[in-house]
A and B are shown apart, each in its own frame.
Chain A
C-alpha cells in the first residue's frame, strides 16, 4: 500500500499537571492522512486540541506520543516545507508589507538578489489583492488586509503544505467571504496542499475536500473524516443550490451540536477503529 502524502500516526498530547491538578490528556490515538493537493479542514470544539495538532504538524510543538510524516519524511521541528498562517496574522509591525513578505522569501532563498526577492514578493502580494498597499506598515492596514499579507507571506515560500490556524476567525463576515474567495482561487491556481482549522461550517464546505471531525476533549478522538460531495470549483454564491449541500451541512452541524459531546461520553459505533476513522460522504437521499 502506498503511503499518503501526509500521515499522522498515533498522536497523543498530555499537558503537564497544573498546581494541584492531574495531567490532562487532550487527545490520543489520532490517525489520519491526506494526499497532495487536497484541502483539509479540521473542525471541533475549543479544547479538543486542533491547534496542538496543527502546531505538531508545523513542528512548533511536540506530541507526547506518535509521529507525523510528510512526503515520506518524519516531521521534526519547523521547516520551510510547511508554511504557517497564524491566527493573529503575526506580521512584524516595524516592517512594511513587502518587507514582511521579503523576510520569508530571503529565508527560503538566501542566495536570491534583492530585485528578485522583491519581484517574487510583489507577485504574491498582488495575488491577494494588495498591490496598492505594498509599502504600508501593518498598523495602516485593516484586519482583513493584515491577514492577506500573512497568507501572501506563507504562499510566497511555496511550501509543500500550508497550515492555517483559524486564519479568518478574527474577521467580520463580509471580509471573511472576500478572502475565502481569494483563497479558493489561489489554491486552484497553485494546487496548494492545505491543512486548516476552522469553526465555521460554511467555510469548511466551501474550501475543504476533506473535513476531519474531532470529538470534544479531553481524550478527543477523530470521530469521522467527511468527504465533500460538492465538486470543485465551489462558488460561495451558488453552492447552496447543490443538491448535496444541505445533507453535508446538516451532517456537520449535527456533529458539532450533538455528536461531538456524545462520542466523548463513549457513544461510538461498535466497529470504530481509531487507526481507520470512518469515512463518510453525506449525500442527498434520492427521493
Chain B
C-alpha cells in the first residue's frame, strides 16, 4: 500500500533530522579519558572557567542547544540591560527595521516602477542607473549612511531600503509594461481616466509580478539586516549573534541561527499567501 506523497516526505524529513542530530551528538561527545578541561595548556585558565570550560571548549551538543532554546523561548522578552535582552525583543528590533526600510522602499519603488513600466522614455533613461545600483552590496553603503545620517539604527534602515528597492522596482516595471494591450484598449474605449485605469486595470494585472518582487526584496532584506546589525550593534538579532560570539556562547549563536531561519521562512510564507490572493488564472 502506498501512502500519500506528503506522508512519505514527512517520514524522510524526520529520518534526516534524526540522522543529523545523531551525527551532531557523536561529534560533540567529550573526548575519552582525561576530560575536556585537561586539554587546556593553562591550568589557571581552566580553574578560572571551572566547569564552563568543558562546554566552551567545543561545539555544544544538541542537548545543550535544546536546553538553551527551551530556556530562551520560555522567557523571550526579558531585559537585563543593553547586552542581555530576550530573543523576542531582539527579533522585534530587527523586524521593525526591516519593515521600516521595506515599506519606505515599496513607497518609492512601486510608483517609480509604474512610471518606468508605462514610459519607454523613462525606462531607457533610468535603466543604466538601475543596472549600476542593483549589484552593489547594500553593506557597501553603510559607511556613507553612517557619515550622512549619523545614526546607527537609521543607517541600517537605509541599508534595508536600498537593498529592497531594486527587485520591487524592476518587477513592478516589468509587470506594468507587460499588461495586455487589449485590457488597456478596453479601458480606453470606455473612456476610463488614466488614474482609474492605473488603479483598476494595471494594478490588478501587474499585482502578481509586483508581489513576487516584494517577496524577493523581503528575502534580501532579511538576509541583509543580520549583517547590518552585526556592524552597527546595539540591538537586533544580528547584534545578538555577534554579542553571543563575543561571549563564546555558541549555544545561543546556534539558537539565533535557527530563529533567523524560522522568521525568514514565516516572512516568505506571508508573501506567498499574499501572492496567491492576487494571482489570477487566464
Residues of A within 8 A of B (CB): 58-60, 78-80, 82-84, 86, 88, 90, 92-94, 103-104, 107-108, 137-139, 157
Contact = CB atoms under 8 A, between A and B. Distances in A.
Contacts of A86: 182, 185-186
A54 to B, nearest CB: 12
B201 A78 contact: no
Contacts of B191: 78-80, 107
A94 B280 contact: yes
Which 3 pairs across A and B sit closest by C-beta, in order of nearness? Answer: A90-B182, A107-B190, A94-B280
A61 to B, nearest CB: 10
Contacts of B180: 90
A159 to B, nearest CB: 9
Given A88-B182, A93-B281, A94-B205, 17 more contacts: A59-B188, A59-B189, A60-B185, A78-B189, A78-B191, A79-B191, A80-B189, A80-B190, A84-B186, A84-B189, A90-B180, A92-B186, A94-B204, A94-B280, A107-B187, A108-B190, A139-B281
User: Which residue among B185, B186, B282 has the maximum number of chain A CB atoms within 10 Å of its CB?
Assistant: B186
B56 interface: no
B280 A60 contact: no
Contact of B186 (A90, A94, A138): A90
Contacts of A58: 189
B183 interface: yes
B280 A78 contact: no
A91 B57 CA distance: 68
Contacts of B190: 78, 80, 103-104, 107-108, 157
Contact of B183 (A59, A82, A90, A139): A90
Contacts of B280: 93-94, 137, 139
B64 interface: no
Contacts of A92: 183, 186, 201, 204-205
Contacts of A84: 185-186, 189
A31 B183 CA distance: 30
